[in-house]
Amino acid sequence: MATQDVETTQIINEDVITRTLDEARAPDDARLERLLAKARSLAGLTVGQAAELMLVEEPERLEALFATAREIKQRIYGNRIVLFAPLYISNECVGNCLYCSFRRDNADLDRRTLDPTEIVRETRWLVEHGYKRLLLVFGDHPHNSVEHMIAAVEACYSVRVGEHEDGIRRVNVNAAPLSREGFEQLKPAGLGTFQAFQETYHRETYERMHPSGPKADYDWRLGVWDRCLPAGIDDVGLGVLYGLYDWRWDTLALLQHADHLMGRYRVGPHTISVPRLEPAFGSEFSTNSPWLVGDDDFKKIVAIIRMSVPYTGMILSTREQPAFRRELMELGFSQVSAGSKTSPGGYTEHNPDDAPQFEVGDHRDLDEVMLNLCEQGYLPSFCTACYRSGRTGEHFMELAKPGDIQTFCLPNALISFREYLLDYASPETVVEGERIIAQHLAQIDSDAIRRQTEEKLRRTEQGERDLYI
């Protein structure tokens, strides 16, 4: 049993996944065209249809698949890319995940949990560099109780910087699954998305990867959203750690999990993360796994998820190298982290002895990432309007599914980006950024919304902050 009333097999059916993969055949050209047309209609794909697309190998047919993913990403998310930074609160962990440097048996790692004063210091640094959205990362440890999570979220929101009293506007959390009561306690702190990755849905592999500690309980982890959603936290973030098991199997399971949420709660995942296994200090497995995923397969994963759940935001981390991030972004990502440090205290303390959680592939700072995004035609965004206007969960899905969320997203992206240009950007980024703003303003179809946006951009220029539609 995953929770009191949801059987594990209602969430993931391992037999169905294995059978679907066994029975899937590569689509012929006509079938491929039908599948891609269905994806283009934004109706999503079934698990079986996704399995068929996984078998497409020929460069020309693969390019048709990628082109469809790019088109869907454009239609739903346009050129907007939302930016955030992870803030590591604690590397103390009773988990023993074989692939992670935070695992309990890694005796060479210095352990610590930031207190609220240290969290405020890190947050202040991030606000002073222009960030508006954070992802708090916690190891699984009694020091990271729900009370500490609440204190951490509140510490982040408490920071005010400069004449505009700037601060963090959305705090998401990545942590071990809580009980329903824990989620109920956490909700009033005002967090955005709660993320917990299943890592691998394949039970046997999962149990091998997580030999001890609370994370060893596959069913407890799998039932996380069946406790979280009923507790009223309705922006939930799913993920697979690619490299632990067969990517085909885990991707189908991830899609089954999304189907379960949509079927039972009418709320699909708000975001999906697709971290790839990176070398981690003190983890032999992280470099030796037989299931490491190559770049070509990774692109296929991103494209197939994009087509299968078009309404779900996808998150790309700094695990990937800049050049590859560029290629991946257009296939489906709507959020990226930038300038990340993956050790507690990493932004303000610069301690060379602190081991990061894993090796980061992109070392550019936020301003450089913003500049590069503009040069590639993207519109960087710090928008946090949906969450603060109550557009979460089912309400968000109603807007996101037909792509209507664009009505709000483009204006709000422009306004939040103008704030960044006025307050934090380098002169070079200002020039490129203003070009991008002008170009995208002209793309707002509705005269009324364009005028409203222009007015809010003007008021931002005159010193008002945090305006949105």
By the rule CB under 6 A, 272 interacts with ligand SAM: no
By the rule CB under 6 A, 275 interacts with ligand SAM: yes
Reported as half-sphere exposure (CB side, CA atoms, 13 A), residue 261 has a value of: 30
Q: Tell me the β-bridge partners of 85.
A: 134
* Lookup result for tokens 């005269």: 447
By the rule CB under 6 A, 140 interacts with ligand SAM: yes
Give me the least distance between CB of 244 and ligand SAM, in Å please: 9
Q: Answer yes or no: are the C-beta atoms of 172 and 192 closer than 8 Å.
A: yes
x/- map, 360-399, ligand SAM, by CB under 6 A? ----------------------------------------
By the rule CB under 6 A, 277 interacts with ligand SAM: yes
Span near ligand SAM by CB under 6 A; candidates 149-157, 168-176, 329-337, 396-404: 168-176
**Nearer to ligand SAM by C-beta: 261 or 467?**
261
385-to-134, 266, 396, 424, 455 alpha-carbon distances in Å = 15, 22, 11, 20, 17
Ramachandran sector of residue 291 (left: φ over 0; alpha: ψ -120 to 50; beta: rest): alpha
By the rule CB under 6 A, 358 interacts with ligand SAM: yes
Span near ligand SAM by CB under 6 A; candidates 15-23, 105-113, 184-192, 194-202: 194-202
DSSP 429-453: HHHHHHHHHHHHHTT---HHHHHHH
Q: Answer yes or no: are the C-beta atoms of 276 and 226 closer than 8 Å.
A: no
Give me the least distance between CB of 165 and ligand SAM, in Å please: 31
Q: Tell me the β-bridge partners of 337.
A: 84
- From the list 176, 274, 370, 421, which residue makes contact with ligand SAM (rule: CB under 6 A)? 176
* 272 closest CA partner among 388, 171, 362, 193: 193
Number of Cβ atoms within 10 Å of the Cβ of 160: 12
Span near ligand SAM by CB under 6 A; candidates 32-40, 56-64, 170-178, 290-298: 170-178
Residues 145, 138: Cα–Cα separation, whole Å: 10
Give me the least distance between CB of 232 and ligand SAM, in Å please: 21
By the rule CB under 6 A, 267 interacts with ligand SAM: no
Torsions phi, psi for 128 (to 5 deg): -65, -15
By the rule CB under 6 A, 174 interacts with ligand SAM: yes
Q: Answer yes or no: are the C-beta atoms of 147 and 368 closer than 8 Å.
A: no
Q: Answer yes or no: are the C-beta atoms of 374 and 380 closer than 8 Å.
A: yes
Give me the least distance between CB of 196 and ligand SAM, in Å please: 5
By the rule CB under 6 A, 235 interacts with ligand SAM: no
Q: Which residues bind ligand SAM (CB under 6 A)?
A: 95, 99-100, 102, 137-140, 174-176, 196-197, 199, 215, 241, 275, 277-278, 280, 286, 319, 357-358
